[in-house]
A and B are shown apart, each in its own frame.
Chain A
Amino acid sequence: MSDDVKLGGLAWHLAVLSLTAIGGGVVLVAPDVHHYVSVQNHWLTDEQFASMYALAQAAPGPNLLFVTLIGWMIKGWLGAVVVTLAAIVPSSCLVLALGTVINRHGGGEGRWAGALRDALAPLAAGMLAGAAWTFLSVAGAGWRGIVLALAAAAAAYTTKLNPLWLIALGALAGAIGLV
């Protein structure tokens, strides 16, 4: 199979997934992308995969860009561009299509939207926890990694500290051998 076909497969996969990632942001595609990229095709190791998300979190801008990094690791600039477009264009087109209606009539307040919101809130929370678990189980940091993640979660939950500091502290904890 040629490289172009591989990239096309990943792009198609992402395009479909991005339309399914509702309620919790694009990080929800992570478990599937991990399966596709690391388990099925062995393009990235588990640790590389987890690192891509951590790097994107350390950079400014939407976390969506972790898929950009995955594309870049697999096939350079072309990979980065194709994968980013695949992850963002379909959902944006959907928003544009619905936006005409929303801008004209308003929306998001009615009974149906309310019920959808009620359903999505717990699902988003559960799926996000599932995605966090995926990253944690592939990061190769063992039980000490779990402790560090829980500490970071507690700090992010209870304080208004910029997440960037927690990422930096995590790197420090790793560098001095705590994890």
Chain B
Amino acid sequence: MQDARVGCWALFKVFSHMAILGFGGVLPFAYRHLVERTQWLTAAEFGQLLSIAQLLPGPTICNLSVMVGQRYAGAAGGFSALAGLLLGPFFIVIALGAAYQGLAGHPLFVSAMRGMSAAASGLILATALKLAVGMLRSTAAKPAAQGEASELAVDVARTLRWRRSTQIALLVAAFIGLGVVKVGLITVVATLVPIGFLLFAFVWRKP
């Protein structure tokens, strides 16, 4: 599992490679490179690190790169992996930005960009939808198992209903706060994360 000979340069190279390939999202390539090709992580370790990377602030894939780099070569390894992930794409986006500025006066280009922006918003929406559906599945009412004490089953079902209502309320509140009323990310996170955490940790715990 843990190969001490993975150095900063190797980390930089592997993460550069997956970043450059990662049109439309780096994560699938991260799995292929880290688990299948280099075998730096097992599939289970990858899943575990990914779920931690999602819990922490910052871009998920960057957090993952820092954790993997750190595991093999300390803080320097963390930054090497991160630099690999960002350096190539950094120059590519700037090239795109330069092209954008060069073409900015062209009416056809302006309308193409408008369509592109709308499609890009749609992609964010799709991610939101995937998260929401996955979340609702996790609190869907389960059919009562054979022989289960019915009182317990009723209890579990009630908790699940409450958990689901809470999740929906949090989702709507987060959307309105950030997107419609625009109170700002810091206010939304500082209010809703503690509320949600307390409710799920103490009131409606996972049955």
Enumerate chain A residues within 8 angstroms of B145, measured Cβ to Cβ. none
List the B side residues contacting A32 at CB < 8 Å. 184-186
The minimal Cβ–Cβ distance linking B15 to chain A, given in whole angstroms, is: 10
**Which one of B4-12, B32-40, B163-171 is at the A interface?**
B163-171
Quote the shortest CB–CB distance from B40 to chain A (angstroms): 13
Docked-complex contact A80 and B123, CB < 8 angstroms? no
Q: Flag if B115 contacts A179 (CB, 8 Å).
A: yes
Having A92-B63, A95-B53, A122-B168, one finds 5 other A-B pairs with CB under 8 Å, namely A61-B19, A126-B174, A126-B178, A127-B179, A140-B114
User: If A61-B85, A88-B86, A108-B55 touch, does A127 touch B124 (CB 8 Å cutoff)?
Assistant: no
Can you identify 17 A-B contacts, CB atoms within 8 angstroms?
A: A20-B186, A28-B178, A32-B185, A55-B97, A61-B92, A88-B82, A108-B55, A118-B167, A119-B200, A129-B179, A130-B178, A135-B117, A148-B122, A153-B123, A174-B112, A179-B114, A179-B115
A16 interface residue (CB < 8 Å to B): yes
Query: Bound state CA distance, A92 and B82, in angstroms?
Result: 9
Q: How far is the CB of B49 from chain A (nearest CB, A)?
A: 8
Q: How far is the CA of A64 from the CA of B61 in the complex (A)?
A: 10
Partner pick for A26 among B54, B58, B92, B175, CB 8 A cutoff = B58
Residues of B close to A66: CB separation below 8 A: 93
Given A58-B116, A103-B71, A126–B170 Cβ distance below 8 Å? yes
The complex places the Cα of A33 from the Cα of B169 at a distance, in Å, of: 26
- Which one of A68, A92, A125, A135 contacts B93 once the chains associate, using CB atoms below 8 Å? A68
Q: Which residues of B contact A170 (CB under 8 A)?
A: 115-120, 122
The residues of A that contact B102 with a CB separation of less than 8 Å are none
Residues of B within 8 A of A (CB): 19-26, 48, 51-63, 66-67, 70-71, 75, 78-79, 82, 85-86, 88-90, 92-94, 96-97, 100-101, 108, 110-132, 134-135, 138, 163, 166-168, 170-180, 182, 184-186, 188-190, 192-193, 195-197, 199-201, 205-206
Cα separation A65 to B192 with both chains bound (whole Å):
27
CB < 8 Å neighbour of A108 from B48, B114, B130, B172: B48
Complex Cα spacing A122 to B199, Å: 13
Question: A111 to B202, alpha carbons, bound, how many Å?
Answer: 10
The complex places the Cα of A64 from the Cα of B57 at a distance, in Å, of 12
Shortest beta-carbon contacts, A-B, top 9: A174-B115, A61-B89, A170-B119, A91-B58, A130-B179, A152-B122, A119-B196, A126-B174, A130-B178
CB distance from A95 to the nearest CB of B (A): 5
By a CB distance below 8 angstroms, the chain B residues around A114 are 200, 206
With a cutoff of 8 Å between Cβ atoms, the chain B residues found around residue A60 in the complex are: 19-23, 26, 88-89, 92
